[in-house]
Structure 1
């Protein structure tokens, strides 16, 4: 019997928890709140109905009048539920009291027609069930208590309640206690069922609509694009600086170890290292500043443009022959100018990594609605530098060009004598 009794006891405990447990009590409170929210609509309904009937009033004892006011209050509540801010307010309450995971809700205001319709349906369901459960919670417990007191109170047995129960028959009066307990149990079961119904419908009616999911996907794509942009900024800025510093430090070390060290060259190399480091720290602060503010707010501090090209070439560690056509510094929009600067910077870094201190030719041509960047350096024939995980320089350059509606490509040219990097950036891409 003990073995058989354990499952029965477990079922009893589970039933008691479902009816009177912490979650059931929270959902009951949620329903009571819905009943409180229904009251203004119900009172307004009684005023409206009193215009058509003298027998209808806020405190009328007529069940038909109160039922009519209840039914008229529901569409009024639905209109209120269609207000955009109704969804975040309903979500805030339902998240706490319904026991539904927070990630299933949509916190933003309901802006689309589908979202407003769902929120209105939820609000109507909440206040509708809440009004019924609240009314039963107010009326049924006193009635059940009086019913259970019938066998012990002659006064109650002589009252209208006793007449309703047939209190003149002793055997019927004895059933008052179990009947009252059944009423309270039925109230608890009805409240638990209504709370469970709300909990099941909450993710459907207060969850994200397809339009909300699309907007969330667009936000995630924008955030990912911003993260990729920051990664490219850090890669280009820091990568170029480290390549230039490494080249200058290596050259200075070799000169110092020479039998007759050229101290002037060493000083120039150290000054170039210092200048590159200072400039890179400033660029790094600018890029990291984007992490502390929105993309739009950080647009003006997004990094240097072609106006800083001379300083970049002077501290690159390479002999660069630069040719400008069409005044690209003044005529190119800011976004295109910044992306072009980063493309040149990454091109310099690639030359330092793969070819060393070789001569480089750079041409920037602004004409026909686009900026063309061309970089050429001789191929040394040495093995290219391979970094763990592979380099991302050319891919980053191609991504920068693609964001502006252009394209970039790199590869051997002139029968393999030189390496050529070409990027074409539409000037209109910087004005969008």
Structure 2
């Protein structure tokens, strides 16, 4: 097929034509009321163009008008499932939200006026060109039709036949050009307002933050469970003691069950399940972390200063994850070594510290990716706190301070 004919084969050209003609219908209805459509003069045609405009401006003041026009524009002005050529997502630039400001109403009014003026013009041109095509076809066959177009035609004859496709092709390109103008105008006049763009950016940011938080949750909870299971299994095999092995298997079972619950909770969030999701653990549940570390062979001493139950939910939940990551690093990189955990609730702050002895030549994180310690710092920063991790003498320290409102 010749390239210059391809636009005329796209279904979207005809849906755009329909979009323009629908606006012309409103103008003709208003014109039938005043000044009338019986032999209209040039002045009458000017009034047909102008009379509907105040009504359109009033309609644009209704918030729902913008939504209705946006839906129509998306459906008829852009390639989609109804077109042979798939769309490129441009229709997403047309908002379907109601008008939320006077600026939105003003843009909608301009859109309605443009649609009526261009639609009425396309309707008149379409009628005239189709009338010319019919007259030429009648002249070519020797049966001329009554003159209904405003274009004067010479005497009929065989030469009229080649002009019929030329006139129809010209009509197609007029419709194609007007449709492209309306599509561009729709993106500009019916596009998202500044407030809608800001809201969309905020929603996207929230989704990205939620994905980051879920990734961090999985890293902390599942990583901790796997670390405890590996350490327990290795210790049980090395010990060769039935009693120790039974205790290790019990710890592995309990840690695995907790990890499965946590995984199910996170997956429920990802699936946006309607059923309630179990609450995230807090520092009041820290005893199970300490028991799992002790069951792995580590000697854990805990100092608690202040009421943990008074901590706000976000601080207590993030504190639990930070403690979990600290103990996981100890078991993963240092093994069964003495660990000192300090939880201090003071005036306006929570101080959490995990200190452990360093075996000779071993530094936590040396063989890892550092994502766990980075997650600790990120959690502290999100709450307005600070975290310090690193070697102090012969010990490794994770020291976190979180503000408590």
Show the counterpart of 2:287: 310
Q: Please say which structure displays the higher CA radius of gyration.
A: 1
1:345, distance to aligned residue in structure 2 (A): 0.5
Show the counterpart of 2:122: 133
Distance 1:242 1:80, change over 3 A: same
Describe the superposition over 1:217-257 as per-residue Cα deviations: whole angstroms up to 9, x where unpaired.
3222211110110011000001111111111111100111x
Distance 1:387 1:27, change over 3 A: farther
Q: Is contact 1:144–1:183 with CA below 8 Å preserved after alignment?
A: yes
Over aligned residues, Cα RMSD in angstroms? Answer: 3.5
Q: Is contact 2:330–2:364 with CA below 8 Å preserved after alignment?
A: no
Describe the superposition over 1:119-141 as per-residue Cα deviations: whole angstroms up to 9, x where unpaired.
43333322321222234445653
Q: 1:33 aligns with which of 7, 10, 22?
A: 22
1:73 equivalent to 2:55? Answer: no
Q: 1:345 aligns with which of 318, 324, 329?
A: 324
Show the counterpart of 2:253: 274
Distance 1:17 1:287, change over 3 A: closer
Q: Is contact 1:290–1:298 with CA below 8 Å preserved after alignment?
A: no
Q: Is contact 2:136–2:161 with CA below 8 Å preserved after alignment?
A: no
Show the counterpart of 2:213: 229
Count of paired positions: 389
Q: Is contact 1:401–1:407 with CA below 8 Å preserved after alignment?
A: yes
Describe the superposition over 1:61-85 as per-residue Cα deviations: whole angstroms up to 9, x where unpaired.
4332343142131343244345544
Aligned counterparts of 2:327 and 2:145: Cα–Cα separation in 1: 102
Aligned counterparts of 1:332 and 1:235: Cα–Cα separation in 2: 24
Aligned counterparts of 2:193 and 2:227: Cα–Cα separation in 1: 50
Q: 1:322 aligns with which of 302, 307, 327?
A: 302
Aligned counterparts of 1:252 and 1:121: Cα–Cα separation in 2: 78
Distance 1:192 1:340, change over 3 A: same
Show the counterpart of 2:266: 287
Deviation above 6 Å: which 4+ runs of structure 1? 160-164, 297-300
Show the counterpart of 2:395: 418
1:355 equivalent to 2:339? Answer: no
Describe the superposition over 1:373-426 as per-residue Cα deviations: whole angstroms up to 9, x where unpaired.
11211222233366877131111011111111111111223xx03222111112
Show the counterpart of 2:181: 197
- Correspondence list, 1:141-180, <5 A: 141-142=130-131, 145-146=134-135, 149=138, 152=142, 156=146, 172=155, 177=160
Q: SS in structure 2 opposite 1:304?
A: coil
Aligned counterparts of 1:75 and 1:388: Cα–Cα separation in 2: 74
Q: Which moved more, 1:237-246 or 1:58-67?
A: 58-67
1:327, distance to aligned residue in structure 2 (A): 0.5
Aligned counterparts of 1:163 and 1:135: Cα–Cα separation in 2: 11
Distance 1:21 1:364, change over 3 A: closer
Show the counterpart of 2:83: none
Superposition TM-score, scaled by structure 2 size: 0.82
Q: Is contact 1:145–1:180 with CA below 8 Å preserved after alignment?
A: no
